[in-house]
Structure 1
């Protein structure tokens, strides 16, 4: 019985180790997303899906490499090897600054990437990511979801943001749950691009 427990604990540890090695040896490539004039609606849809998938993959790498937190957008070093969640006021300062954060929630990771001038992501891409994460949460809960790549009104997107943030912050949430939802959202964009 003890062997099976240690084997179950070793599985996620190996996955984290392999993900860290992958991002260290093959850092994510920031794609060139300069929109071309005269795109057809289908080409524009595929471009949006590609940008959304790229930002979701960068978010996944940020969560694995930098750590995940619940209950706040960011956690910062509190000294003595501990971290503390930041207040809302502090979080707004950390979104666009180059300051180091110890861990991020899924929404915090997306926002930092969208505000980072070294990435090709935009705020519009961040909203598309939130939409896909919202649908992925519904799929994970066993509910139906809308097709990938759908464009929602801003009011509905704010609701999606609240749902994703609330889901991220639920007590008992684990980093594996969050990575699973991000992977589902990535898969949604890939499947939509192929159909």
Structure 2
């Protein structure tokens, strides 16, 4: 009986302490739950940020073409013991990976490698934005009216634009300097769009 009295005597202070701690916790302010929704930017700020990313993708693709070389009638060229030849379709799918070595890339191939590189900030959306700007820059280069910079087109229309850029890249009269000039014009469009 003495043991029971002692256990009861000891459990009551523990209960009293737990009750006091519960009252103390209840009196503390409750932290608000974390917000899992990203804050929305001002539309103009988001548009400018998008133009900056497109500009960076264009500049990086230009640097890749200068460094690795330019090719026609294939996404990529491969160096086979001193001879550079167009890559086959099967080879091209492997060469899209940035870890592979290419002997050159066409305009579209350079953009594709940028989008597939996990170590770079360029996304597929940035590359599609670059396609939009390159297409409009091509129209300007030909003397036609172009849409304002930063315009986003439908997915189907973008695929058509990609086909036009590929065909232009592969024309016999197109030279490496023409491709670099087109990239410069597209970069200029993004700069003008950001200032306007």
* Structure 2 counterpart of 1:78: 80
Q: Which runs of 5+ in 2 are unaligned?
A: 1-37
1:56 to 55, 58, 61: 58
> What pairs up with 1:18-167 in 2 under 5 angstroms?
37-79=39-81, 81-167=82-168
Q: Which runs of 5+ in 1 are unaligned?
A: 1-35
SS of residue matched to 1:150? coil
Instruction: Work out the CA distance in 2 between the residues paired with 1:97 and 1:69.
Output: 17
Structure 1 stretches of at least 4 aligned residues deviating more than 3 Å after TM superposition = none
TM-score normalised per structure 1: 0.79
RMSD between superposed Cα atoms in Å: 1.0
Moved more, 139-148 or 84-93: 84-93
* Structure 1 counterpart of 2:185: 184
* Structure 1 counterpart of 2:170: 169
TM-score normalised per structure 2: 0.79
> How far has the Cα of 1:87 moved from its partner?
1.3
> How far has the Cα of 1:97 moved from its partner?
4.9
The number of residue pairs the alignment matches comes to 159
* Structure 1 counterpart of 2:4: none
SS of residue matched to 2:78? strand
User: Larger radius of gyration, structure 1 or 2?
Assistant: 2
Moved more, 37-46 or 141-150: 37-46
Query: Alpha-carbon deviations, 1:135-190, whole Å to 9, x = none?
Result: 11111111110001001010000000000111001012110000000000000000
